[in-house]
Amino acid sequence: MKTQISILVGTMTGTAQLCAQEVELALGDDDTQVETVLMDGLDASVFSKKSIFLICTSTYGQGDVPDNARAFYEHLKSARPNLSHVRYGVFGLGDRTYAETFNFGGKRFDELLTELGAERIGERHMHDASSGILPEETALEWSQEWLRKVKERLAQPA
């Protein structure tokens, strides 16, 4: 059976979406089906898909999730669905210049999903825009390693 990956994108100026598109191209093959979904208008029902989720989000304001992710994040926070069937990874984007809130967008989703019972696969990636490293290149490399961990996890008992 194909591994299904759904990349949920929170973005303000499109960088996270660009990363998601790179990941989709890099990971999609005969064994793995990948879709990219912007977080606009999402609610908890997205987690009823038989998919592994990759949260790909930047950070704005004072460590907030981007505007297109806010309603989804707040909905999960107040509705508190049981996500114990969900497995996910986090590719976060931020900028270390914002030292106090570096990569808080990804961190907020990570903490909330864990609180709701979901299981993270792999470490949360924290891209730093001030590093000069292109996020879409890192996303490509990071996601290949992440997919390897996903497949390893799926081979284990639930």
Judged by the rule CB under 6 A, the positions of this chain that interact with ligand FMN are 11-16, 58-60, 62-63, 66, 93-95, 98, 101-104, 129
Nearer Cβ to ligand FMN, position 83 or 103? 103
The nearest distance, CB 11 to ligand FMN, in angstroms, is 3
CA distance 145 to 73: 27
Nearer Cβ to ligand FMN, position 11 or 21? 11
Residue 18 pairs with which residues in a beta bridge? none
Nearer Cβ to ligand FMN, position 35 or 67? 67
Nearest CA to 18 among 88, 95, 91, 89? Answer: 91
CA distance 72 to 49: 16
Nearer Cβ to ligand FMN, position 64 or 119? 64
Residue nearest to ligand FMN (CB): 94
Nearest CA to 86 among 137, 58, 51, 57? Answer: 51
The nearest distance, CB 135 to ligand FMN, in angstroms, is 6
Could you say which DSSP state residue 123 is in?
P
Residue 107 near residue 65 (C-beta atoms within 8 A) = no
The nearest distance, CB 53 to ligand FMN, in angstroms, is 17
